[in-house]
Structure 1
């Protein structure tokens, strides 16, 4: 076991910082213990690792296991938003004033691991969350490896890129991921080394969007998590534009309308959407919900 003690230079909400890395309630790479500690696995450049995060007063305690332990502790501050520059961000809408005061510890963290963000983002393309998260759990339970150290039962580390390329068609089907998403992930895995080496969010965006099946939405979801990009907006999201329009104007809007509303926050547009999400404001539900598909044969 390796350990590190880190004191942030300002308010920090550890849970909010790492929450975007969680993909569903049963995510095998993420757990929160009864004591409040957060456990997370990662396939680092040095190999698999498990990180345990706990906060006492204003001090963060990190404990890590596995070949990737040193890397996880070295990058722990970045994961928790130490590199997040909030200069220039000013709340422009009254509805956000209160939530910004209530969450002074909001920070956008970065993992530095592109494939860990890309695979679940592809699984989440144009489907409801429960369908994507079911596939993510199935694939990691089948092809991931056990988390190093005394991690909570059932935690797994995501597979290496080569494993994603070799998953047979029938197992993609069993997971609930249809051929298009399976092919997109397998193709991306061939370019994993190049993607992981992207030095900036803008470079990653250019590389990601050359891959078949990866568009604006998927690229933004990856850059928010891997690079902590405060301006990467998930254009094309099924719900986001409606939520932002309703929260800021009382009326739902579309993607162009959303981007007009977010323009005053340019440079921090993703940060603004996170704050909007924290307001809890949602348009009234009308009409049928998007169904959870399940075409697997047993």
Structure 2
């Protein structure tokens, strides 16, 4: 008999359902999740067992329904996953310091930072996204999830995120047909070995410290993970190809920027630096482009 647990949530006025939850699923098709207008599904390996969460928007309320052995755990955390524990705190006052940030903060005031409380699933995506295009990374992610796929509880037909123990026991050449070369594969395998310890981290500070102690995991990957696992609004993806230029252009009118310059410009927004970066992305802000685009490579053919 499948366990089902339901809970009703009351989001704040102006809450942006899709804008808040979009970061939790891969665009177009994610075997572990689904997002449509007012309807969201996500599978997870919880401390209490496999589960799927369904969030449905009905008027001013959200209905959270959990399925599977981990239904109680995931429904208890449904408000965090929906971003309802994200506290803007002093951000409105900080945003007022820059006219563009103030405008974007008003435009996207309903977007919140979700916090899934589960780290390894997002870590898989982040490792696969290292130094490649989004198309390559998402293609590899879908192939990897299907390879390790186990049916998730519930009626949505989702697949559970890969079991870390199964990933850790897999030889690296198995990942090659997914389009993942040895460097990223070895980083992923090291993360899988440490997954149980990583999932026990109390906060984003501890998680960042433990993540960056793993060979192949730098500040960029750690920030991508803690921003959704813990809802950390201050996590900045240092080492990104585009973000330093975007921040320099948006906040100072400079077409190109370094990581150091990016952090300098974001310092007035300390505590919400990642939130500012996300607002710039949501607003479609981008620095002028020079030179050719990064090519899409096919490692599986090498």
TM bracket, shorter-chain basis? over 0.9
The 5-angstrom pairing of residues 45-64 of structure 1 reads: 45-64=47-66
1:265 aligns with 2:269: yes
Alpha-carbon RMSD across the aligned residues, in angstroms, is 1.6
- Within 1, Cα distance between the matches of 2:170 and 2:141? 13
Find out whether 1:28 has 2:34 as its counterpart. Answer: no
Within 2, Cα distance between the matches of 1:32 and 1:203? 30
Give me the TM-score of the superposition, normalised by structure 2.
0.93
Equivalent position of 1:113 in the other structure: 118
Shift of 1:107: 1.2
1:112-191 superposed matches below 5 A: 112-151=117-156, 153=157, 155-191=158-194
Find the aligned partners of 1:42 and 1:163 in 2 and give their Cα distance. Answer: 15
Instruction: Provide the rounded CA distance (Å) in 2 between the counterparts of 1:24 and 1:15.
Output: 12
Segment of structure 1 superposing worse, 160-169 or 217-226: 160-169
Q: Distance in 1 between matches of 2:132 and 2:118?
A: 24
Q: Deviation at 1:36? A: 3.5
User: In structure 2, what is the Cα distance between the partners aligned to 1:36 and 1:77?
Assistant: 15
Report the counterpart of residue 104 of structure 1 in structure 2: 109
Q: Counterpart in 2 of 1:296?
A: 300
Match in the other structure for 2:83: 81
Shift of 1:165: 0.7
Which sections of structure 1, spanning at least 5 residues, go unmatched? Answer: none
1:37 aligns to what?
A: 39
**Is 1:216 aligned to residue 212 of structure 2?**
no
Matched length? 295
Choose the corresponding residue for 1:285, options 285, 289, 292: 289
Counterparts of 1:52 and 1:290 in 2: how far apart (Å)?
Answer: 37
The secondary structure found in structure 1 opposite 2:45 is strand
d(CA) in 1 for partners of 2:194, 2:109: 38
Q: Is contact 1:24-1:130 (8 Å) kept?
A: no
Structure 1 match to 2:16 = 13
Q: Which runs of 5+ in 2 are unaligned?
A: none
Deviations 1:169-193 (A, max 9, x none): 3320011111111111111111111
